[in-house]
Amino acid sequence: MKGFSVVLSLFLAVAVVVAFSVPATAADHNYIGVKGCKMCHNAPDKGAQFKAWEASKHAKAYATLASPQAKEVGKAKGIANPQEAKECLKCHVTGYGLDASRFEATYTKEEGISCESCHGAGKDYKQVNIMKDLAKAKEAGLIIPDEKTCTKCHNSESPTFKSFNYQEMHKKIAHPNPQKAKK
């Protein structure tokens, strides 16, 4: 019996070491909402990324689901309320479908498609000392978006899809990198 206890103890010790040495994945990070991003990404000398997002269709993605057009599209798809339908929310709300524990109190679905839809859940990379080091920021959940990021929603599965030219559309939402903005 003593031998079994030793083996079990060793197994558990190894399991703990492995668990704590595995790098974090996107699933390990929490969403903070646009207020957490706005604190640093609103200043004109840093690129005013928040203002660019706020003026975009992404910022209005959730509200759009209450429009007469969205209700008409929903009705044709058998959806009574687009603002409650998973088929719509998966592309109109940041992080839709994830466990509630993944969202900080500062997050709201009304933000639509926010910074974190493209750049990843920000709780662990929002600190300035982490954001200044791109490698650290990526380890903490920062995503550098690419065409695949956009085409998760901008694709033929969308009932309102027309076409999507990544290069052209990216220009419409592009915003300066805070570290490269004019100082």
For residue 47, the model assigns a pLDDT of: 86
pTM over 0.75: yes
For residue 70, the model assigns a pLDDT of: 97
Distance, in Å, from the CA atom of 29 to the CA atom of 122, rounded to the nearest integer, reads 7
Using DSSP's 3-state secondary structure scheme, residue 93 falls into coil
Q: How many helices (H) and strands (E) does the chain have?
A: 11, 0
Q: Give 103's Cβ-side CA count (13 Å radius).
A: 18
Q: What do you get for the CA distance between the two ends of the chain, in Å?
A: 68
Cβ-based neighbours of 8, under 8 Å, separated by 6 or more: none
State the pLDDT confidence band at 176, using cuts at 50, 70 and 90.
Answer: confident
Mean pLDDT across the stretch 10-36?
60
**What is residue 138's DSSP assignment?**
H
State the pLDDT confidence band at 12, using cuts at 50, 70 and 90.
Answer: very low
For residue 129, what is the enclosing H or E element?
helix 128-131
Q: So what's the architecture of 26-173 in CATH?
A: Orthogonal Bundle (1.10)
